[in-house]
Amino acid sequence: MFYDRERELGKLNEVYSFPGSSFLVIYGRRRVGKTALVREFLKDKSGLYFFVGEKDEKLLLEEWSREIVERLSDYLPSYVKPRFSSLEELVGFLLDFSRERRLVVVFDEFQNFKAVKPSFFSPLQELWDEKKDGSNLMLIAVGSYVGMIKRIFMDRKEPLFGRADEWMKLKPFDFWRAYGFVRSMADVNPRHFVEFYSALGGMPRYLLYLPRYYRGDSVETLGRLFFDEFAPLREEGLNVLKLEFGRFYRSYFSILEAVSLGYVTPKEISDKTGMKPLTVSKYLSELTNHYEYLVREVPVTENPLKTRKVAYKISDEFFSFWFRFIYHNYTALEENPDRVFERFRAEFPAFVGETYERIAREFVKRLDLGFKPERVGRWWHRGEEIDVVAYDRKNVALFEVKWKNLSQRDAKRVLKALEKKAELLPLRGNYRFGVIAGKLEDKDWLRKEGFLAFDLEDIIR
């Protein structure tokens, strides 16, 4: 059963409705649901789905000709038997065919053409430039290796440079959609779901394990998914990222590992990895801008272009978890898995706490605060930190986030400390203070006192 992706399907249908030809690139990390999305899109259209396996050109052509005969024979005169001696011929045929009739063509794992026939992109570009204006072809290139796909279409030296009309980065489900997806398959309570989301993120493929692996205990489930000898996700980070980074993957991995362990500034990363500052900054920039596995965070009151207060974090919940608990412990996991698992059990709640802060920030963005914040984010300065700050020119709302359950007394103490920290903020306006906890006792009382008070029940709605 296909779940959601409504905005993505909406965008694809919009492009489909444009007259003439379009070249669309869909990219996103492995397992995120690219193939499922294009297959869903193709369901009610005349379209062709081609998987670019790393095979001989000849074998691909045989396979794809069969598909063409099957799907398009109704529209072809009976004396036409599609046979192609090259990929170029096949693409030419599709462009010509679509002069008469709108056609969608998907090449999945498009970057594999580089292995099948490295010279193909140049004639493809020529054919496209020559024929696209007279045709009605919606050409979709799907790619899993973000770096490679960007190089093919964005590098000036590449033939296909500038040929993509539309780009779509497919992201994992957000927290709420991920919960909806899981709930459509299994009965998982919200607390456990926050824990699963901390490890699996909004990745459909990984969330699909839950109906099979979850028996009521979240940590035990993660043990069987990640730590056991035959755990299906134990090697996943390696499998997915090794090909992306190619020969020098170890350096990229060291940086991602350091960031996952909480070394988040260029200086800290350089000290931790022993790599030179200049090398570190080169890798950080690539991992952020080119590969998009890291994001660069600045305190919410700072100008992102000017400030030097920068912290990096891994943008994907799964990789963050995998580097922190699996890759970091690779050797120990072979030698003494039980010990690794026990350490994981002890450190996991704090890790979930960090995820919960991110969820809370997303929640605050959706909240009606009585004003429309210009920015929502984290703030820090010299060891002091505020989990969520939302502000415009006249208003400031601050939140402390706790994954724990808070009693009324705890909450009051937390709010008092928050009011104290607020004095350090360089923001003027009407201040409000709030707390977001895993579970919050006496929310109503806090709200009557003028505080913003929420817990997981409100987040999940």
Ligand X SMILES: Nc1ncnc2c1ncn2[C@@H]1O[C@H](COP(=O)(O)OP(=O)(O)OP(=O)(O)O)[C@@H](O)[C@H]1O
Footprint on this chain of ligand X (rule: CB under 6 A): 2-5, 30-36, 144, 204-205, 208
Q: Which is nearer to Mg ion, 35 or 46 (CB)?
A: 35
Minimum CB distance to ligand X, residue 324 (Å)? 23
Give the residue among 391, 390, 395, 387 at the shortest CA–CA distance from 414: 387
| Shortest spacing between CB 118 and Mg ion, in angstroms | 22
Q: Is 450 left (phi over 0), alpha (psi -120 to 50) or beta?
A: left
Of the pair 209, 253, the CB lying nearest Mg ion is at 209
Measured from the CB atom, is 71 or 205 closer to ligand X? 205
Question: Would you say 40 or 96 has its CB closer to ligand X?
Answer: 40
Shortest approach of ligand X to residue 109 CB, angstroms?
7
Burial 442-452 (b: 16+ CB within 10 A, else e): bbeebeeeebb
- Nearest approach in angstroms of CB 395 to ligand X is 38
Between residues 191 and 205, which has the closer beta carbon with respect to ligand X?
205
- Residues 9, 11, 20, 35: which binds Mg ion (CB under 5 A)? 35
- The full length of the chain comes to 461
Nearer of residues 32 and 406 to ligand X, judged by Cβ: 32
Q: Can you name the residues that pair with 138 across neighbouring β-strands?
A: 22, 104
Report the partner that residue 49 touches, choosing among ligand X, Mg ion, none (CB closer than 5 to 8 A by kind): none
Q: Which does 33 bind (CB under 5 to 8 A by kind): Mg ion, ligand X, none?
A: ligand X
Evaluate whether 164 touches 24 at the Cβ level (below 8 Å).
yes
- Backbone angles phi and psi of 288, in degrees to 5: -85, -55
Q: Using CB distances below 5 to 8 A depending on partner kind, what does residue 438 bind out of Mg ion, ligand X, none?
A: none
- Nearest approach in angstroms of CB 52 to Mg ion is 11
R_g over Cα of the chain = 25
Cβ closest to ligand X, residue 42 vs residue 376: 42
Q: Which does 30 bind (CB under 5 to 8 A by kind): Mg ion, ligand X, none?
A: ligand X
Report, in Å, the least distance between residue 232 CB and Mg ion: 17
Cα–Cα distances (Å) from 262 to 190, 310, 312, 319, 392, in that order, read: 27, 13, 9, 14, 30
Q: Which residue is nearest to Mg ion (CB)?
A: 35
Residue with the CB atom nearest ligand X in the bound state: 33
Contacts of 336 (CB under 8 A, 6+ apart): none
CA distance 282 to 289: 11
State the minimum distance, in angstroms, from the CB of residue 143 to Mg ion. Answer: 10
Smallest CA-to-CA distance from 396 within 426, 354, 435, 361 is with 426
Contact partner, 36, from ligand X, Mg ion, none, Cβ < 5-8 Å per class: ligand X
Longest dimension (CA), the chain: 83
Residue 251 contact among Mg ion, ligand X, none, beta carbon within 5 to 8 Å by kind? none
Q: Dig out the tokens for 304 from the structure.
A: 């992102």
Residues forming the site for Mg ion (CB under 5 A):
35
